Amino acid sequence: MGGGTKGPTVIEQSVLERVLGEALRTGGEFAEIFAEDRRNSSALLDDGRVEELTSGRDRGAGIRVVVGDTTGFAHTADLTEAGLRAAAEAAAAAARGGGGGVRTIALTRQSATRGYEIEVLPGDVPKARKVELLTQANDTARSTDGAISQVSVSYGDTRRRILVANSDGLFAEDDTVRTFFSVSCVASGDTGMQTGRESIGHTIGFELFDRYDIDELARNAAGRAITKLAARPAPSGQMPVVIGSGGGGVLFHEACGHGLEADLVSKGASVFRGRVGQRVASPGVTVVDDGTMQREWGNIAIDDEGNPAQRNVLIEDGILTDYMWDHLRARKEGRASSGNGRRQSYQHLPMVRMTNTYLLAGTEDPDSIIASTQKGVYVKHLGGGQVNTATGDFVFGMTEAYLIENGEVTEPLREGNLIGNGPEVLQRIDALGNDFAMGPPGTCGKDGQGVPVGDGVPTLRVSSLTIGGTAS
């Protein structure tokens, strides 16, 4: 790893083998050790002052033991052999007491690479330099326009080293560095207060700031807030919606991606259950989840069960081809994991999670998609939303949107939601641009756990979606 040498294995291989043997001694069918050493730092500037400047370290291991359909799980911050054995015994007891016998585990180290080097480890960068970036962004945003009344700037970096070993003989490690920066602005005017936000984040080191212009980032955030001061209320009703390149990927992450996670499918909580091989989207629509996308926010070398990251085609030319899988559900189905077993930390069990989820580009010119839309809404950026994976119904906020009139983008809009159904949206995509882009970094929440994810789309048009606006 560039910018610093990879640290030694957190736990010796011989210790791992003995602890796994202990986990299986009372009759476990499968055992796994997940160890993690995470360092992070963050800084926040609000109202012209640095409010927070923190750093921390979290270190520990989670052990799970599986017997039939029952999983026992224990975690500990004690990485000595005695501490790990105690956790293994607790997990095994939770899975099933009694039994006996001895199973010897022989681990085989597997190598996985993300295919690029980290150039500058953020931990090697002085805190003063990070504060300089906050101040620079704040000053630039405030100088953009006198209407900017509040600015908040945040920085964060994480270095996460993990080790995974299991009773199938797998032994894998990864060392992941992520760096993040965000600018949020409030503009005040006759229409009240409006907000604008811009963020960047990649699975790289401090070289992030060689790739992006912080001043441009701040101006974009301020400009978004200023533009919305003159915005009119969003219309209400069904109409064509053009979603901009990069900015609308979160819609498909939420409305379709979660429904393609095998754990939700197996629980009957997915509208896509039993539909592999069927048409679920318009021809030309291909949806991919890809943990191997270099430098993207959801990039991983291995998942949190030790399986190599993969590029998984979920929907191909409108046909549902596969779901995303973790180790246990794949094992039950007699198939390989898709590399989608992820967890927030060593204190959590892994579950099926997305990495970088996106729609492939089409062939159409983005301008012609707008020009051929007589009346509708152009959504440049979507905010947060809610989805019912069992039905596919969703609601999303539009953080930057404009009216389309006579084939042209005209007035900015505010206070509106997109309301629809994921499977219906997939079927109603009638234009795909050639301008694919990934969107801003995200954190995906599921069952109380958050993990970093990316999403992306080209410019696309949905023939009909409900806009929940406030205009009469």
Among 64-73, 218-227, 314-323, 428-437, the least confident range: 64-73
Q: What is the pLDDT of residues 345-392, one digit of tens each?
A: 999 999 999 999 999 999 999 999 999 999 999 999 998 888 898 999
Rounded alpha-carbon distances, angstroms, from residue 430 to 239, 284, 373 = 13, 9, 11
Task: Give buried/exposed letters for 188-202 (b at 16+ CB in 10 A, else e).
Answer: eeeeeebbbbbbbbb
pLDDT tops 80 at residue 101:
no
Among 7-21, 86-100, 202-216, the least confident range: 86-100
Rounded alpha-carbon distances, angstroms, from residue 165 to 13, 81, 97, 305, 332 = 9, 14, 23, 8, 19
Enter the pTM of the model: 0.94
Q: What is the pLDDT of residues 221-261, one digit of tens each?
A: 999 999 999 999 999 999 999 999 998 899 999 889 999 99
Mean pLDDT of 76-96: 92
d(CA 329, CA 165): 18
Q: Classify burial at 393, counting beta carbons within 10 Å of its beta carbon; exposed 0-12, middle 13-18, buried 19 or more.
A: middle
Mean pLDDT of 131-158: 97
454, 355 Cβ separation under 8 angstroms: yes
CATH of domain 13-229: 3.30.2290.10
Domain map of the chain by residue range?
13-229, 232-468
Chain centroid offset of residue 413 CA? 27
